[in-house]
Copies of this chain bind each other. A is one copy, B any other.
């Protein structure tokens, strides 16, 4: 364990930029995934916002992005500061353990003792300062040997997020508020979510993990030794001429598993997982209801309009309109509506049904309409 300054000097931000965001179809697509859109109204893509939030913490030279080969050009356009050594391109998506684990293995190989923090490219955080302060505490927990996560203090009984059940407080120097994680719990129903809110023991799982890279890989090795071996083989070859050959051979065989299952839950069971409560506003903008809420300050009577040059005429209507075509969009007397208008696909639903968009995407795929996905 070292002091705060030293630990932060060894900190590296990792941004896995994957995932289409099926619940945001037809805005999010295979060729225009969620992280490339401005969903917060900041005028910047979620990816760019993530970068700017992390740069003051780790420095621009210490941010690694893991993304699909298909998105390379778009990512580099968003992040012109990104160097070739800090972009990891996946030939095909193999879930979050492979993405984050490979970044950890490469960085540990380059710089033993590095501390990494993994932050999704497509979440919205309102207060960057409070976010960074929370991460700094998590870095100290990581430096103390914990696998650390950040849990968001719930402000409502949300049913769209997973939760972290906390146990007793941990006394880690500099990591104020740290608690031991008892377990992760899946998205609850409303009654359960209300109980969680009252319990003061449950935090929203924001999917952020901060750990020494060697510690993370060690934890992974306990549950997924083969996957770890593959990642280490890749890492050893990464900065050598044989990268391409090894990637082609090893990457396609890596097990697809979320890091929540391969690392976080086992670590919680081992008592090795610490959570730092985050007091900042956070949203994973998982569906259109969530975007509508972000843009209307929570007032249900408003109509949020997303899209440059949107031509929307609304009468007695509320909800959200996303305009990606040049069409005039007229709404009359529709409340809590979700209208997403793109050149080749139109979605009309309600906030209440926003979570069901994914099933429509599945149906379109099954029905031979993959051209609009």
Contact = CB atoms under 8 A, between A and B. Distances in A.
A304 interface: no
A339 B330 CA distance: 10
A333 B345 contact: no
A94 to B, nearest CB: 29
A330 B369 CA distance: 11
Given A341-B346, A348-B337, A359-B315, A353 B332 contact: yes
A329 interface: yes
A84 interface: no
Given A341-B346, A348-B337, A369 B313 contact: yes
A327 interface: yes
A89 interface: no
A162 B316 CA distance: 27
Contact of A334 (B26, B327, B333, B350): B350
A199 to B, nearest CB: 31
Interface in A284-343: 311, 313, 315-316, 326-334, 337, 339, 341-343
Which of A327, A350, A352 gathers the greatest number of chain B CB atoms within 10 Å?
A327
A328 B353 contact: no
Contacts of A330: 26, 345-349, 360, 364
A124 interface: no
A156 interface: no
B346 A346 contact: yes
Provide the main secondary structure of the chain A interface: mixed
Q: How many copies does the complex hold?
A: 2
A345 B369 contact: no
A26 B367 CA distance: 29
A333 B354 CA distance: 9
Contacts of A364: 313, 328, 330
- Is the interface on chain A under 10, 10 to 19, 20 to 34, or 35 or more residues? 35 or more
Contacts of A342: 327
Contacts of A343: 327
Contacts of A363: 313, 315
Given A315-B356, A369-B311, A369-B313, A346 B328 contact: yes
Contacts of A341: 346
Which of A332, A350, A359, A363 gathers the greatest number of chain B CB atoms within 10 Å?
A332
Contacts of A367: 313
A357 interface: yes
Contacts of A353: 316, 332-334
Interface of A: 26, 311, 313, 315-316, 326-334, 337, 339, 341-350, 352-353, 356-357, 359-360, 363-364, 367, 369, 372
15 contacts: A26-B328, A26-B330, A313-B367, A315-B360, A326-B344, A328-B346, A328-B369, A329-B345, A329-B346, A331-B348, A332-B349, A333-B352, A333-B353, A334-B348, A334-B350
The 8 A-B pairs with the shortest beta carbon distances in the complex, nearest first, are A333-B353, A332-B349, A328-B345, A332-B353, A328-B372, A329-B346, A330-B347, A330-B360
